[in-house]
Amino acid sequence: MKRLSSKPTVYLIDGSNFSMRFWEKAGGVSAEQLEKEFVNWLAEVARAELLRASCFRVVFDGPCRRSGPAGPSITIYYSDSEPADEMLVERGYFMQNEGIRAIIVTSDNGLRDRAAAEGVKTMNCETFLKLAGDELRRESR
């Protein structure tokens, strides 16, 4: 994949997996701080012209907490006692069956395998990070 699609897409993002994977390297002091940095970055991505028709549903593991301002196209969910993986696969499956273009973004191989078994498209976090970063750089020119 060379570029994110301009078609309206619901990106179902494994927030804990994504934020811990990349922002930990940036020296975040806590999981909550990493989540806030991730949400701020995602808000910038959501404003990119190519992605304005898309929306982002981020699911974090655990109880509700403050993860920063989301924005009109970003919705934050917390799994509480339910595994975030369950929420992501369930929502992805429902959307696919309703004809809604949905992609689960995670680097969790088990979750990607479960989603694929249900016919839900996936993208790993590294690919999404790179393609979204490319789009942000394109717009800053």
Q: What's the rounded mean pLDDT across residues 113-117?
A: 95
Q: State the pTM of this model.
A: 0.91
- Note the pLDDT of residue 58: 95
The CATH number of the structural domain formed by 10-139 is 3.40.50
From its phi and psi, is residue 62 left (phi > 0), alpha (psi between -120 and 50) or beta?
Answer: left
Beta-sheet pairing, 74-78 with 102-105:
unpaired
Contact call for residues 103 and 56 (beta carbons, < 8 A) = no
Contact call for residues 109 and 90 (beta carbons, < 8 A) = no
Contact call for residues 89 and 104 (beta carbons, < 8 A) = yes
Closest by Cα among 56, 62, 53 to 38 = 56
Domain boundaries, the chain: 10-139
The pLDDT tens digits for 32-64 are 888 888 888 999 999 999 999 999 999 999 888
